[in-house]
Amino acid sequence: MSMTELAKANGIRVVLASVTPVCNCFKKQTTLRPQGKIIGLNGWIKDYAARSGSVYLDYYSALADGRDFKQGLTGDGLLPNDAGYAVMAPLAEQAIAQALGKAR
């Protein structure tokens, strides 16, 4: 039984979030987290969310400029900075509200 199935069996609503993009500015980090694999994994997460009746939270599209992190939203090319989290917070609130059945 997956964590999603276990949560749903116990009345817990599930939000599944995408993996965030990486910046191609630090080659070592990009090699460790290949952009093509991130995009593929996000597609799988989105499909699984739809199949399982979960809410899909797409951070990638909000944080990416093409295949790279948008300028100013990361300090290290791998993790969001304060500005990145400021973009993410309302998306998380919206996804949680959707999972709880509240319109936002």
Could you write out the DSSP letters of every residue in 45-85? Answer: HHHHHHHHTPEEE-HHHHHEETTEEPTTSBSSSSSB-HHHH
Query: What is the C-alpha to C-alpha distance for residues 5 and 68, in angstroms, rounded to an integer?
Result: 33
Query: What is the C-alpha to C-alpha distance for residues 23 and 14, in angstroms, rounded to an integer?
Result: 29
Query: What is the C-alpha to C-alpha distance for residues 95 and 62, in angstroms, rounded to an integer?
Result: 14
pLDDT digits (tens, 9 = 90+) for 16-60: 999 999 887 666 655 667 788 999 999 999 999 999 999 999 999
Rg (CA), the chain: 15
Domains of the chain by range and CATH? 14-99 (3.40.50.1110)
Residue 83 has pLDDT above 90, yes or no: yes
Average pLDDT value for residue range 57-66: 96
Nearest to 33, CA basis, from 22, 45, 18? 22
Q: Full-prediction pTM beyond 0.95?
A: no
